[in-house]
Amino acid sequence: MRYGWIFGAAISAIIVAMPLVYADNAECGRIEDYVYEDGKSNVIVANRNAGKQVALTFDDGPSGNYTPMILDILAENGVKGTFFVVGRNAERYPMILKRIHSEGHEIGNHTYSHPDMKKLTPEQLDEEISRTGKAVSDIVGVSPVLFRPPGGYLSNDIVDKITSNSCKTVLWSWRQDTMDWKCPDVEKVVETVLSNIRDGDIILFHDFNPGKSPTPEALKIIIPELLGRGYEFVTVSELVNM
């Protein structure tokens, strides 16, 4: 089963109430199959041919507090990111969604209601994807071409369904899950990113957080540091040359 290892890892991850934990180590060993090179993979986790480019990604927003703060930081540093939005949040904060779009960031689809993916019927998944696509399109005029499943939960059928909705499936790079939704210290988020950075990485953050998010403060350290190391911040579509 082509995505069997992702599926298995996702189930383990869900057991510990966590987003996907997948590995490019010898145990699982097949991460390169999922690294997007020359358009060969259906699931994007990185682009190792990208050179010194990386993608900042933000899930679960827009939110009324953290999304504008993060947009301010990206603007101050002149860098772009990708926001995987929840459709109902996009409808709640249309002006913030417009701001994301007008400032040159990419908008991805992260379902309409952030459901438990393993409980969805194929029809419900279709509805989650298409309703969000329409919500975003109604507000900013373009429909997302990227989809990230809540919790990183995937199966062959889910990937096929995403593809049939004209979207590419995006996860994130191994070792670049900042776990910022758990509100660790700023230093922990910074260290996770900086000590593991590789060319072509997709870094996972959240711009919705019911607690005190470390993300804005961490970005203020991470972005200048990586710029200083010669990295360029691009959207996910740019990273994979879509």
Which has the closest alpha carbon to 236: 25, 3, 98, 43? 43
Going by the DSSP 8-state scheme, the letter that residue 171 receives in this structure is -
For 124, other C-beta atoms within 10 Å of its C-beta total: 15
What is the smallest separation between the CB atom of 179 and Zn ion, expressed in angstroms? 13
Distance from CA of residue 180 to its chain's centroid? 13
How far, in Å, CA of 106 to CA of 219, rounded?
A: 18
Per the annotation, the verdict on 206 as an active-site residue is yes
Distance from CA of residue 8 to its chain's centroid? 20
Which of 108, 231 has the CB closer to Zn ion?
108
Phi, psi of 163 (to 5 degrees): -65, -40
Near Zn ion in 120-139, by CB under 5 A? none
Q: Which range in 22-30, 53-61, 216-224, 232-240 contacts Zn ion by CB under 5 A?
A: 53-61
Q: Active-site residue among 60, 180, 206, 207?
A: 206
The verdict on 150 binding Zn ion (CB under 5 A) reads yes
What is the smallest separation between the CB atom of 36 and Zn ion, expressed in angstroms? 21
Near Zn ion in 167-206, by CB under 5 A? none
The verdict on 59 binding Zn ion (CB under 5 A) reads yes
Q: Which range in 64-72, 132-140, 143-151, 186-194 contacts Zn ion by CB under 5 A?
A: 143-151
Bridge partners, 107 (sequence order): 83
Per the annotation, the verdict on 59 as an active-site residue is yes
Binding site for Zn ion (CB under 5 A): 59-60, 150
